[in-house]
Amino acid sequence: MSDPSKQKSESEWRAILSPEQFRILREKGTEPAGTGKYEHFKGQGIYTCAGCGTPLYKSTTKFDSGCGWPAFFDAIPGAVSRQEDRSFGRIRTEITCTACGGHLGHVFQGEGFDTPTDERHCVNSVSINFAEDEKAKA
């Protein structure tokens, strides 16, 4: 399904995103390892795209991988798209928000983590926001 927010111009994205969000979400940058606010965050709720607000990950799929970025073993169905990334002289799988095309990070498989999917979605904290589950507070 096409989302009108994918059609934003560069100047429109610059107007709604911080410079760091623009660098990562729109220019496929990466935040330095160990610097993101969600790497060790343990709240219960939903992680959404910082660009368009689309729900991407449930907190129940987040795990501590020790990689320096927030790690999830699975995304909300249909929320995250995968593309081959041949930058930096190697082949990786880039993950983006399906709704707006914002760069989230990369997904790695077969690393041996004790998770249901044996995948690690390595996500930039700058690319996501967190919405607390109201039921978890009760």
- The pLDDT value recorded for residue 89 is 84
User: Which residues neighbour 138 within 8 Å (Cβ) at sequence distance 6 or greater?
Assistant: none
Active-site annotation holder among 49, 52, 100, 122: 122
Residue 62 sits in a domain of what CATH number?
2.170.150.20
**pTM of structure:** 0.90
CA dist., res. 31 & res. 28, Å (int): 10
Q: What is the pLDDT of residues 104-123, one digit of tens each?
A: 999 999 999 999 999 999 99
1 found inside a domain: no
89 found inside a domain: yes
- The pLDDT value recorded for residue 1 is 43
20 found inside a domain: yes
In the chain, the number of structural domains is 1
Task: Kindly report the backbone phi and psi dihedral angles of residue 48, in degrees, each rounded to the nearest multiple of 5, phi listed first.
Answer: -115, 165
* C-beta of residue 122 within 8 angstroms of C-beta of residue 71: yes
Q: How many CB atoms lie within 10 A of CB 67?
A: 15
18 found inside a domain: yes
29 found inside a domain: yes
Among the residue ranges 6-10, 23-27, 93-97, the one predicted with the least confidence is: 6-10
pLDDT tops 50 at residue 126: yes
CA dist., res. 52 & res. 67, Å (int): 26
70 found inside a domain: yes
First to last CA, the chain: 35
109 found inside a domain: yes
Q: What is the pLDDT of residues 93-109, one digit of tens each?
A: 999 999 999 999 999 99
- The pLDDT value recorded for residue 6 is 60
* C-beta of residue 85 within 8 angstroms of C-beta of residue 92: yes
CA dist., res. 58 & res. 131, Å (int): 10
- Strand 55-58 relative to strand 45-49, pairing: antiparallel
Percent of the chain with pLDDT over 70: 92
Look at residues 54, 59, 69 and name the one whose alpha carbon lies nearest to residue 101: 54
2 found inside a domain: no
Is 122 in the active site? yes
Range of the domain at 80: 8-137
- The pLDDT value recorded for residue 133 is 79
pLDDT tops 70 at residue 4: no
Mean pLDDT of 81-100: 93
